[in-house]
Amino acid sequence: MKKVKKFFQYDNIGLLFAFPAFLYMLVFVGYPIISNIILSFQDVTMKNLVRGEKHFIWLQNYAELVRDSVFKKAFFNTLLFTVCCLAIQFVIGFALAVFFNKDFKVAKPVRGLLMMPWMIPITITALIFKFIFATDVGILNYILKSIGIISKNVEWLTQPDTAMAALICANVWIGIPFNMILISTGLTTIPKELYESASIDGANKLQTFIKITLPMLRSTIESVLILGFIYTFKVYDLVYVMTSGGPVNSTHMLSTYSYKLSFEMFQYSKGSAVANALLVVLLIVGSFYIRTTTKGEET
């Protein structure tokens, strides 16, 4: 008893404070991760989930995935979707951040209002964009027709390429505020003197942007892009509600394909294998973020 008391006397008392949260995460996240890995080595389907007889088939699920054309398509889609979204939302977000960093009356309240899209449940965002991209009733087709870009209603969500474009568009709408606000915060940390001395030296706007703004924002840009990658790569709700991976599996992402395998086709083990593939990519990219975040955490 005395020993226990002594153990918790100094810093180790922190364990008592931290343990409940850690235990919770261990039970509801740690255990599922492990059991998901085990599951992916087994052959669990609807039938033997109930009966409880499962067999280890080791890498067979993964071997099947490698040959699975939908899986390959989903992997490629996820990558394409992520890269397109990141590039577009980063550029727009950056431009808006620079614009709202200027000193004018409505800058702050308007920038605040622009946060709205980021907070709305993604299911609702998906619904809104499904409505905007709808073939007959959609406002987008009406606008494009009235300015003469198209002559006939486009069936955005029922053709592979346009469906993907619609998904990217909706996701960019969610991502812009996130990029904007983080870059805005980064911009405020750049000392004004730097710009003053640059303008005394006769640098023009483009030069100061390239020579001062970008280098000073390096760590901000890094974390915006890495976090953006992680959030975008695991996209689920948006795609599931807007296209459900259709038409004919052409817009499946790793997450939606995993869901389809597990909860529509009840091939739990195969779905787990897809989820693990997704996890591996996230962990690789995430490790860069973790390295930069935990640097200097020693205090």
Partner 1 sequence: MKEEKRKINKQNIIYSILAIILLCVLLFPLFWILVTSLKTEQEIFQIPPTFYPHVLNTKSYAAQIATGDFNMFQSFGNSLIIALGAMVIAVTLAVPASYAMARYQFKGKKLMLLGFLVTQMLPVSVLLTPMFIMFKHMHVYNTWYSAILADATIGIPFSVLILKNYFASIPRELEEAAYVDGCNRFTAFIRVLIPIAKSGVVVCAIFSFLYAWGDLAYGMTFILDQQKRPMTAGIFNFMGQYGTKWSYLTAFAVVSIIPVALIFIFMQKYIISGMTSGAVKG
108-137: buried (b, 16+ CB within 10 Å) or exposed (e) per residue?
A: eeebeebeebbeeebeebbeebbebbbeee
Binding pattern for the stretch 41-60 against partner 1, x by CB under 8 A and - elsewhere: --------x-----------
Q: C-beta of 31: minimal distance to partner 1 in Å?
A: 7
Site size toward partner 1 (CB under 8 A) is 101
* Interface region with partner 1, contact rule CB under 8 A, candidates 28-36, 56-64, 69-77, 199-207: 28-36
Residue 249 near partner 1 by CB under 8 A: no
285, 229 in Cβ contact below 8 A? yes
110, 100 in Cβ contact below 8 A? yes
Residues 163-192 interacting with partner 1 (rule: CB under 8 A): 173, 176, 178, 181-182, 185-186
Angstrom distances, CA of residue 277 to CA of 8, 65, 169, 177, 257? 41, 10, 26, 29, 12
* Interface region with partner 1, contact rule CB under 8 A, candidates 69-77, 79-87, 203-211, 226-234: 226-234
Binding pattern for the stretch 277-296 against partner 1, x by CB under 8 A and - elsewhere: -xx--xx--x--xx-xxx--
Q: C-beta of 103: minimal distance to partner 1 in Å?
A: 8
Burial class (CB in 10 A: 0-12, 13-18, 19+), 148: exposed
Residue 91 near partner 1 by CB under 8 A: no
- The one among 6, 80, 91, 123 contacting partner 1 by CB under 8 A: 123
Q: C-beta of 148: minimal distance to partner 1 in Å?
A: 15
- The one among 41, 75, 156, 240 contacting partner 1 by CB under 8 A: 240
**Is the Cβ of residue 65 or residue 274 nearer to partner 1 in the bound state?**
274
Q: How far is it, in rounded angstroms, from Cα 61 to Cα 252?
A: 19
Q: How far is it, in rounded angstroms, from Cα 163 to Cα 293?
A: 36
Q: How far is it, in rounded angstroms, from Cα 241 to Cα 185?
A: 33
